[in-house]
Amino acid sequence: MKSRVYFAAARCEDGPSVLAEKARAVLQATGFAARLEAEDFAALKIHFGEKGNTGHIKPAWLAGVVEDVRAAAPRLFLTDTNTLYVGSRSNSVEHIRLAWAHGFRPDILDVPVIIADGLIGNDRREVQGEAGRVASARLASGILGADAMLALTHVTGHVQTGIGAAIKNLGMGCASRAGKLDQHSVAHPRVQTKACLDCGLCYEHCAHAAISRVEGRACIDDARCVGCGECLVVCKHGAIKVRWDGDIRRIQEKVAEYALLVKKHFGPKLACLSFLLQISKDCDCMARSQAGIVEDIGICGSTDPVAVDRASADLVLERAGADPFRRGYDIDWSFQLSHGQAIGLGTNEYRRIELS
């Protein structure tokens, strides 16, 4: 059976109030709020954007969504988990301050921000895996303590999964730091020594001291590398690459399996709202403004994470006339979708319902 994906065309130029009403209309079509109960703790899972990033979802776009969810379940909260890499989102104190700086303050949305895996990312619960790649998932305690979840996703490209959308928001985004390490650990980058100019950027950005200088070139120590992928992004010379011996497929399949456990936890009280606005080559973890890789498209919503990601990708491909995600990192991003369907996370078969 095809899943329903609701879609409203939108552009950033429409303005915050119009975008807020369109997001509300898409969410209402999914029936999410109607399935909530007054005593539910409702998690609004979001990426607040790294310091200096401008492409993240804006608080004003969520005004209507927040109003509807609050009316059904007043115990709603905005949430994310701490990052594996060191930076402004690696601990709850700085993470919350960054969220405030990006407008997610009580005086704007009147919704508290709770970092789901605690002060430094250690608050987690073990959940037994069910699909083969993941034996035991380390999910954030605050995620598993909630009764309902709305995944608010900014669709972008991604250095390791090709596309960063709802599946990644649920899988990687709901994991504790240990869970993130588990998912990343299968994909270690390597240095092409002939292309390395020894500029030093990767040494400075590696939070785990895994990169050293050997005979005037960068060298990555696999024993120290956690696979976070920061070095791939900061290298300006294309000298650092991901190994192509199945690593990319394995990491995507692990992300999908983590997402499946999150979906099973929430059952019918899960919905996904994906914003195809300011779509960039890299995810919102990049601490800078990024150019768009395709024009603004709109907002998609569904209760099926696989279907909403497939619909989002199809819309991008329709508008771009090619695959801008593959242009970014030449990664086959479809593994997460095919594996997601195979394990019961959702289906690639969908019916797109356009809202006026």
CATH 3.30.70.20 fits 188-241, yes or no: yes
Place of tokens 């011996």: 245
Query: Backbone phi, then psi, for 317, in 5-degree steps?
Result: -65, -35
Span between the terminal Cα atoms of the chain, in Å: 25
CA–CA dist 186, 247 (Å, integer)? 6
* CA 103 centroid distance within chain: 19
Pairing of the two strands 217-220 and 156-158: unpaired
The predicted pLDDT at position 314 comes to 98
The predicted pLDDT at position 246 comes to 56
How many residues in total does the chain contain? 356
For helices 247-266 and 177-184, angle between their N-to-C axes, nearest 10 degrees: 140
Reduced to 3 states (helix: H, G, I; strand: E, B; else coil), residue 337 is helix
Pairing of the two strands 148-154 and 113-115: unpaired
The predicted pLDDT at position 85 comes to 73
Question: For the chain, what is the radius of gyration of the CA atoms?
Answer: 19
CA–CA dist 27, 41 (Å, integer)? 18
CA–CA dist 98, 104 (Å, integer)? 9
The predicted pLDDT at position 234 comes to 78
CA–CA dist 18, 356 (Å, integer)? 12
Per-residue model confidence as pLDDT tens digits over 300-332: 999 999 999 999 999 999 999 899 999 988 899
Reported CATH class of domain 3-183+246-354:
alpha beta
CA–CA dist 257, 331 (Å, integer)? 19
The predicted pLDDT at position 56 comes to 97
Half-sphere exposure of 335 (CA within 13 A, CB side): 17
Per-residue model confidence as pLDDT tens digits over 31-90: 999 999 999 999 999 999 999 999 999 999 999 999 999 999 999 999 999 987 777 898
The predicted pLDDT at position 245 comes to 47
The answer to whether the beta carbons of residues 12 and 154 sit under 8 Å apart is no
Domain ranges of the chain: 3-183+246-354, 188-241
Reduced to 3 states (helix: H, G, I; strand: E, B; else coil), residue 340 is helix
> Within the chain, which residues score under 70 in pLDDT?
186-187, 229, 233, 242-246
Judging by beta carbons within 10 Å of its beta carbon (0-12, 13-18, 19+), is residue 58 exposed, middle or buried? Answer: buried
